[in-house]
Structure 1
């Protein structure tokens, strides 16, 4: 089915070793489910781009070796033909949309094949029903949450029914229920005979369906594990490889969070409507300094909207107070630092180091603070790189460093661990705990069960725009060598 022979790739005008491929040899059989794993920058995304033709078709570079698909030389195949054989779901769904309407986006790939209109209508209904996204039909794409956009992107590829499906971290923006449904969908596709290549940091939702785990380091394949061997790796072994375990640490939520004298953030009766739709309804809660509050809930529940209101980015009904002071919108922006989920919206400077002095006077002390935070996030060697040239995980870590260096007392992070491997996820957890230890109030919007288990003190759960509960996190002990 897929044959990679001594395949190498170097991006054009790049002297960086990260992201390149060196002497890749891999054979994938028809109907096989293969996970590509490894630390950020190991070459997983580049390999997926080779498979779907984006390298060198869209990302110029030098290719050596061979890539054969069903016996044909895929490197010589026209990209439009390769695109009908290999379907792709990108890490950032925004980068693959062409339409502004969800229905148009889902049928676009089928139109390009092309399929008969009657067939397209049947497939559209079937795909949306199987993925439980019928509520997303005929919606504008831009107002959707990141998770909802990801589901639309997956549906558009599923509807095309390609022989090979390549996915780059498709679970990064999905809530727990949608992630379980994605796992079930991938298992169904495997049973139908599709070949699946999944580049991923989170493995728990496919632990029962994958066939092999390919471990990559520095642009090459270091090891290949069959399913039994992969599942026998301990949590400690996987962490040493920079990977997340197949099951997150166990935890549960306990008694209701109680008001106390350490509460510095007080949110009262926040309500919001957008496009005549009730997004939030009378949401009230409190948060402490020195603690980490995780805000969880389904995709589209209103979590990001709530935090944009708290940080002064959106208007809404209700009251937000901090340190006993009722804050108007402008004052909220001065007191808080909000890290968006899509890092490209928040990075503007010509170099990584220059990001720290945007809107601030550049001083020796600020430079020292910036370098210190970059070291903590493993980015000290990227000070003169343009932020746009960083990987998704590196951009996330840069924004974490910027938040830490801001000096603000209220820090809000929207999915801070999306796109992060096990090693960098733990770096992030340690930084968040350190920031909380400095007396800051930390809010995390997240679907990442592992992040909640490792870092959160309490969980605020929102569903349908309403607060369902605010409870403390209770952690359970797990042996160092246990994997599940």
Structure 2
């Protein structure tokens, strides 16, 4: 008979035991954010870049290749390991290897929000927690999701930071003490009154981490927590993990970016195809060279120095600054910003006021800056998707209002869940070719060729929401490539990508930029080193 948690808590045994765990999906798991984001998913933001295909496009007999589906296949296979109290375990491996699925079984999202067959067990201090109520499991395990929007329940930051503790029925003074300590330690004072949905991706991730931290669970799970964080944000995240570690909190971190967390890791679990391929100490991780890690398919465990800035981009130019349209050496394929201004409602001053700035054509341009400076907003404005942005750009010898630029741009958004519209990977790719004059056979051949290169060919029949985060990222990237627009815009394109697929993406971008303009925003220094892009640092003056 298994012991109760209260009886076992003092005994010297692993705090967490994964016992011969296997799992098979029986239907695609949907992103929780989509429950309340359906209206956004059908807004002009999407249709401006990818219109809906006519129904008959999917009804014809297509010469599709044989594919397998991600559904009804075993996702985890005989996973076994134990975790001692206070350990920090790094779980890594290629996209789709099962990292997120493992965490979702531990925290109870599976099977609560998706159907599937679980074999084996998950034990907390000797007691199975797979069958216990979600509210009870929530007092034991805190989770920070890959998509922070999935776990927000409030509008204001201050309310979200308190929300978890309020659900634990903690006294008001205890809640205020916990939240105040975190706010002070992580310099969040200026964020308390801000709207969560006006924050950048990295800022949202930070709020998600701190709202869970305030609950002080004995086990913390993180799913790609650094995916949208800048260097300062990753340092803050590592600081938070260090504080937890000193307090004896057990932490499991599913990550591709290793540098910020490598100094804290006690043990590393490398997964492949749903199985544990390697299990070794943190000391070994820190001793491996960059080349040895690459041979294992892992990113660097050491901080990567950022490349030098090529161009400072002042995002609040003086009002009196004159444009030099007549004197600038502008080629037809260049993107020249004559004027761009974007102001939030009720804001005292514009977030962006850019004048007389040029992105040269047939090159890769990378926007770099800290979280919240305005990279994503600038990309949306250039793509003609930010309704509050006003101004003019010059492209291909013509002068255009910003809102007219959507005809030239394809976009990979920071949250790719907002641009996946169909019921299969194949149809998602086919949708991007709806305006092409190619035959259906030619479309099919092109889709399969690109899917193979991005290693999505085994998932063509799968529902997009059954894919891993990295696989979704590659799918969104593929859809924009198929559109073949002259300007390709990508917002944090390597979020959730492992080393192997980051290299593939970098190679494709280098080829694409030979006759297209590529504009991306990223915090990923490893990607920047691979791309050899022109670096534009956003400066807030």
With structure 1 as the length reference, what TM-score do the two structures score? 0.91
Of 415, 418, 431, which aligns to 1:345?
418
Paired residues of 1:19 and 1:41 also in contact (CA < 8 A): no
1:303-345 deviation line (CA, Å, top 9, x unaligned)? 1111111111124233211123212245311111111111111
Paired residues of 2:305 and 2:525 also in contact (CA < 8 A): no
- Residue range with higher mean Cα deviation, 141-150 or 196-205: 141-150
Q: How far apart, in 1, do the equivalents of 2:73 and 2:266 lie? A: 27
Q: Which residue is 1:478 aligned to?
A: none
Paired residues of 2:145 and 2:151 also in contact (CA < 8 A): yes
RMSD value, Cα: 2.1
Of 256, 271, 294, which aligns to 2:341?
271
Per the TM alignment, residue 284 of structure 1 is displaced from its structure 2 partner at its CA by 4.3
Q: How far apart, in 2, do the equivalents of 1:71 and 1:177 lie? A: 39
Q: 1:125 to 1:444 in 2, by over 3 A?
A: same
- Residue range with higher mean Cα deviation, 63-72 or 348-357: 348-357
Report how many residues are paired. Answer: 464
- Residue range with higher mean Cα deviation, 248-257 or 146-155: 248-257
Q: Which residue is 2:481 aligned to?
A: 404
- Residue range with higher mean Cα deviation, 77-86 or 245-254: 245-254
1:82-107 deviation line (CA, Å, top 9, x unaligned)? 11111000000111112222222111
1:377-414 deviation line (CA, Å, top 9, x unaligned)? 11122222222222221111112112221121111001
Q: How far apart, in 2, do the equivalents of 1:140 and 1:41 lie? A: 33
Q: 1:350 to 1:11 in 2, by over 3 A?
A: closer
Q: Secondary structure at the match of 1:100?
A: coil
Q: Which residue is 1:360 aligned to?
A: 435
Q: 1:283 to 1:304 in 2, by over 3 A?
A: farther
Q: Which residue is 1:443 aligned to?
A: 519
Q: 1:167 to 1:284 in 2, by over 3 A?
A: farther
Unaligned runs of 5+ in 2: 1-14, 29-68, 314-327
Q: 1:275 to 1:345 in 2, by over 3 A?
A: same
1:420-474 deviation line (CA, Å, top 9, x unaligned)? 111111111111111112x11101111111111111422112244x5xxxxxxxx
Q: Does 1:457 align with 2:533?
A: yes
Q: How far apart, in 2, do the equivalents of 1:79 and 1:296 lie? A: 40
1:94-123 deviation line (CA, Å, top 9, x unaligned)? 111122222221111101112101111111
Of 26, 37, 40, which aligns to 1:12?
26
1:218-263 deviation line (CA, Å, top 9, x unaligned)? 1121111111211222323322332212136545315548986656
Unaligned runs of 5+ in 1: 467-484
Q: How far apart, in 2, do the equivalents of 1:428 and 1:95 lie? A: 27
Paired residues of 2:87 and 2:251 also in contact (CA < 8 A): yes
Q: Which residue is 1:291 aligned to?
A: 363
Of 233, 236, 241, which aligns to 1:181?
236
Paired residues of 1:2 and 1:28 also in contact (CA < 8 A): yes
Paired residues of 2:391 and 2:402 also in contact (CA < 8 A): no
Q: How far apart, in 2, do the equivalents of 1:283 and 1:302 lie? A: 15
- Residue range with higher mean Cα deviation, 233-242 or 376-385: 233-242
Q: Which residue is 2:34 aligned to?
A: none
Q: Does 1:49 align with 2:104?
A: yes
Q: How far apart, in 1, do the equivalents of 2:90 and 2:172 lie? A: 35
Q: Does 1:414 align with 2:491?
A: yes
With structure 2 as the length reference, what TM-score do the two structures score? 0.81
Q: How far apart, in 1, do the equivalents of 2:538 and 2:235 lie? A: 19
Q: Does 1:320 align with 2:390?
A: no
Of 81, 99, 103, which aligns to 2:136?
81
Which protein is bigger by CA-based radius of gyration?
2
